[in-house]
Structure 1
Amino acid sequence: MTRRVVITGIGVRTPGGLGTKAFWSLLSEGRTATRRISRFDPSPFRSRIAGEVDFDAEAEGFSPREVRRMDRATQFAVACTRDAVADSGLETTALDPARVGVSLGSAVASATSLEREYLVLSDSGRQWLVDDGFLSPHMADYLSPGVMPAEVAWSVGAEGPVTMVSDGCTSGLDAVGHGVQLIREGTVDVVLAGASDTPVSPIVVACFDAIKATTPRNDDPEHASRPFDGSRNGFVLAEGAAMFVLEEYEAARARGAQIYAEVGGFATRCNAYHMTGLKTDGREMAEAIRAALDEARLDRTAVDYVNAHGSGTKQNDRHETAALKRSLGAHAYDVPVSSIKSMVGHSLGAIGSIEIAACALAIKTNVVPPTANLHTPDPECDLDYVPLTARDKQVDTVLSVGSGFGGFQSAMVLHRPEVAA
């Protein structure tokens, strides 16, 4: 019999939301947290806005040595892990450490620290030959993405499988999907799973400027992220993280744990087509959705809410709309669909996990978060995108989808445990 996997703890750090309560308040109220970049001077760039997290490492309990050793994204992941474990009520010291794993996702890993250290070594790019006398003793930590999940593992004493998943913007979904599989196959009983990215740095901003993927709507940062709107012109870059405690269902129930949701199904596909391009028919995303529903043993009409990738680019929004119609059939027109990127921006590899947190909270509260800034729908995007205002609705089953550079398409189905009872 397949072991069932549930979410029993959540920790988040997002623009406008340090912690689960603040995060859900932002979403359910339809507020936005995008603003002019403050972490560096954005004046030279085409897109000068982002979703920044007001994160204070000292206030979060990190020592000066830890701050120096850990990249900002790693700090986010560890802080969220601490919150998720506390939220779950799990006593990690009472667990067999070999039966506890970590699965962490990130698209750009320690890019923030790598850029900072390069600027020091090269005297802000003035020196072609860098002076290794200025080399940080922690440079190896920044170069190796695997250090990020290792830090998470050390924070909870996990000695089971520790994995880094880095496949662009689906990393957050895929990392949780991998953690679910570890429990289902019996390798571990508990996994700390999620994702973290802090890409609001000059090099990443410049990269997205070069391909014109981010919005130049700098005069109105709060309303710049406009998924499915006819006036959208690119996504808003962001940073953030979300971590979860995943447990085997019977063990969680036996200890009386709160259960946010069961992960019923997960699937990922690749279009093997183009690094940034998407086929118009949405076939690969539709196939991932079909496979995830099949694994959850649910009919497509069981989906009560779709948490969309909804990046706010014309190519993605139209591709995703086609994929939902292809996979859900006529039900695609009846089910509410929304994008929280309209409020917290696009944090690359982290956003998939942040969206899983939103899905779990939608199930808990029976509230569908809105798509902010959606005033004039694109005629080619003709589904119910829950414009502007959250909606009270019985939410038993949620579908969350992600799309990433490289052609990655992922889907996850979350539901109340009673749905599969």
Structure 2
Amino acid sequence: MNERRVVVTGMGVVAPGGVGTKAFWELLTDGRTATRTISLFDASGFRSRIAAEVDFDPAHEGLSPQEIRRMDRAGQFVVVCTRDALADAGLTPDDLPASRTGVSIGSAVGCTTGLEEEYVVLSDGGRNWLVDHEYGVPHLYGYMVPSTLAVEAAWACGAEGPVALISTGCTSGLDSVAHGARLIQEGSADVMIAGATDAPISPITSACFDAIRATSPRNDDPHHASRPFDASRDGFVLGEGSAVFVLEELSRARARGAHIYGEIAGFAGRSNAYHMTGLKPDGREMALAIDAAMRQAEINPSDVDYINAHGSGTKQNDRHETAAFKRSIGHRAYEVPVSSIKSMVGHSLGAIGSIEIAASLLAIEHDTVPPTANLNEADPECDLDYVPRTARECPVDTVVTVGSGFGGFQTAMVLADPERRRT
């Protein structure tokens, strides 16, 4: 065990279906889906015209007119989550040791929404190859630099310690929290604001996924389009959102009487060095990440109570991670409940890993496993217990949550109740 153990003492969530952890958890445990026809732009010409959008009013969430003008939608998400996470932890920026407080934010596509909107203006709707910079907003440079998102979070909490933007595709939200935990473990920080944000529902993102036919074309039935592990699945559904956590060293959290959601007990990442979008069917590299994370957490397969799957709803991913679970925890894989919340909140690219951490911590908090919505007939090659359609109450002390991203990234994290944890 590391001497400096890292726990989560606060969280803020902006997700499809509602802003805040209460609305988020209610959506998941009710098995409701937030997927719908895209309303953020005119998607009528696209192959996939559905997404999981956040009903988000920045002014209602406390952002000033200047903040709304300055920040891209992803930046607005992460600042609201940062403020909510601090409040949930019972802290204000003045309570934090500024030089010992850091920020680690993940994002796959940065300020995509703001960049695309500005390009449309500068190029006069795409008619001009040479754009006129004089039409750009004053903060356009900030949209071009992804680290702006981490800077906004740092300003929101007054962090003067290490600040970083982690961009590893769809594992960004796991890797950013792991990075934050590592900085506390090694003694570089005492408090970390860690999480991820992405607002990718835009024409350019939709066009890219249309081109490789990765997203579901089930436009006539958006509520049931995201169906991980189901035999009839036909691609993932794009989403958006953010989740941010307050990470603290365990003894510090206990000394101030903080509520502890769970401990970040282990984490590891691997790469398949194989293909930009392809996955090997044996799941070896994800299994290696799970094995390494469990070794760091000092747990055995028998200790795992729930697996929060990547569960994107593409055939190769669902089969790949099913194989990985069997490879890493053996026969125990058939006994452990596995589910994918992407069936309800879509795939928010770099943000989803952090949103899934939030779901995993709430599963520990409430001893409840969220379901896999829209799972009616499992793929025969996906033969584990995927908790179809209905949430399940059961003891949850230890969770393995995983992520898989384009480029071959594979990340696993072990989350546990520090009081009930078996080692």
Q: TM-score range, shorter-chain basis?
A: over 0.9
In the alignment, structure 1 residue 20 sits paired with structure 2 residue 21: yes
> In the aligned structure 1, how far is the partner of 2:319 from the partner of 2:356?
20
In the alignment, structure 1 residue 10 sits paired with structure 2 residue 36: no
Q: Secondary structure at the match of 2:7?
A: strand
Q: TM-score, normalised by structure 2?
A: 0.99
Tell me the amino acid that sits aligned with residue 284 of structure 2: R
> In the aligned structure 2, how far is the partner of 1:126 from the partner of 1:57?
32
Number of the residue aligned with 2:397: 396
Tell me the amino acid that sits aligned with residue 70 of structure 2: R
Number of the residue aligned with 2:253: 252
> In the aligned structure 2, how far is the partner of 1:272 from the partner of 1:72?
33
Number of the residue aligned with 1:305: 306
How far apart are residue 420 of structure 1 and its match?
5.6
Number of the residue aligned with 1:415: 416
In the alignment, structure 1 residue 158 sits paired with structure 2 residue 159: yes
> In the aligned structure 2, how far is the partner of 1:221 from the partner of 1:347?
16
Number of the residue aligned with 2:30: 29
Which deviates further from its counterpart, 292-301 or 63-72? Answer: 63-72
In the alignment, structure 1 residue 405 sits paired with structure 2 residue 406: yes
Q: Secondary structure at the match of 2:239?
A: coil
Number of the residue aligned with 1:126: 127
In the alignment, structure 1 residue 190 sits paired with structure 2 residue 199: no
Contact 2:308 2:402 survives alignment (8 Å): yes
Number of the residue aligned with 1:116: 117
How far apart are residue 90 of structure 1 and its match?
2.0
> In the aligned structure 2, how far is the partner of 1:177 from the partner of 1:253?
21
Q: Deviations over 1:249-295 (max 9, x none)?
A: 00101110000000000000000000000011100000000000000
Q: Deviations over 1:282-326 (max 9, x none)?
A: 000000000000000001110000000000000000000000000
Q: Deviations over 1:58-99 (max 9, x none)?
A: 111112221111110010000001000000012431332010
Q: Deviations over 1:358-411 (max 9, x none)?
A: 000000000000000000100000000000000000000000000000000000
> In the aligned structure 2, how far is the partner of 1:68 from the partner of 1:6?
35
Alignment of 1:307-346 (within 5 A): 307-346=308-347
In the alignment, structure 1 residue 213 sits paired with structure 2 residue 214: yes
> In the aligned structure 1, how far is the partner of 2:57 from the partner of 2:422?
41
Number of the residue aligned with 1:238: 239
How far apart are residue 42 of structure 1 and its match?
0.7
> In the aligned structure 1, how far is the partner of 2:159 from the partner of 2:406?
31
Q: Secondary structure at the match of 2:403?
A: strand
Number of the residue aligned with 1:66: 67
Tell me the amino acid that sits aligned with residue 115 of structure 1: E
Structure 1 residue ranges, 4+ long, deviating more than 4 angstroms after superposition: none
> In the aligned structure 1, how far is the partner of 2:134 from the partner of 2:197?
31
Which deviates further from its counterpart, 175-184 or 83-92? Answer: 83-92
Q: Secondary structure at the match of 2:245?
A: strand
Gaps of 5+ in 1: none
Q: Secondary structure at the match of 1:193?
A: strand
Q: Deviations over 1:110-144 (max 9, x none)?
A: 01000000000000101111112212211110001
Number of the residue aligned with 1:144: 145
> In the aligned structure 1, how far is the partner of 2:18 from the partner of 2:36?
14
Gaps of 5+ in 2: none
> In the aligned structure 1, how far is the partner of 2:3 from the partner of 2:146?
32
> In the aligned structure 1, how far is the partner of 2:95 from the partner of 2:281?
51
Number of the residue aligned with 1:286: 287
Which deviates further from its counterpart, 263-272 or 131-140? Answer: 131-140
Q: Secondary structure at the match of 2:265?
A: strand
Q: TM-score, normalised by structure 1?
A: 0.99
> In the aligned structure 2, how far is the partner of 1:20 from the partner of 1:94?
23
Tell me the amino acid that sits aligned with residue 314 of structure 2: T
> In the aligned structure 2, how far is the partner of 1:94 from the partner of 1:20?
23
> In the aligned structure 1, how far is the partner of 2:38 from the partner of 2:178?
32
Q: Secondary structure at the match of 2:138?
A: coil
> In the aligned structure 2, how far is the partner of 1:413 from the partner of 1:139?
39
Alignment of 1:35-74 (within 5 A): 35-74=36-75
> In the aligned structure 2, how far is the partner of 1:420 from the partner of 1:193?
26
> In the aligned structure 1, how far is the partner of 2:329 from the partner of 2:286?
11
Number of the residue aligned with 1:363: 364
> In the aligned structure 1, how far is the partner of 2:151 from the partner of 2:73?
15
Contact 2:181 2:264 survives alignment (8 Å): yes
Number of the residue aligned with 1:96: 97
> In the aligned structure 1, how far is the partner of 2:191 from the partner of 2:389?
38
Number of the residue aligned with 1:275: 276
Tell me the amino acid that sits aligned with residue 32 of structure 2: R
> In the aligned structure 2, how far is the partner of 1:133 from the partner of 1:382?
58
Q: Secondary structure at the match of 1:98?
A: helix
Tell me the amino acid that sits aligned with residue 70 of structure 1: M
Q: Secondary structure at the match of 1:417?
A: coil
Taking only the aligned residue pairs, the percentage that are identical comes to 68
Number of the residue aligned with 2:85: 84
Alignment coverage as a number of residue pairs: 421
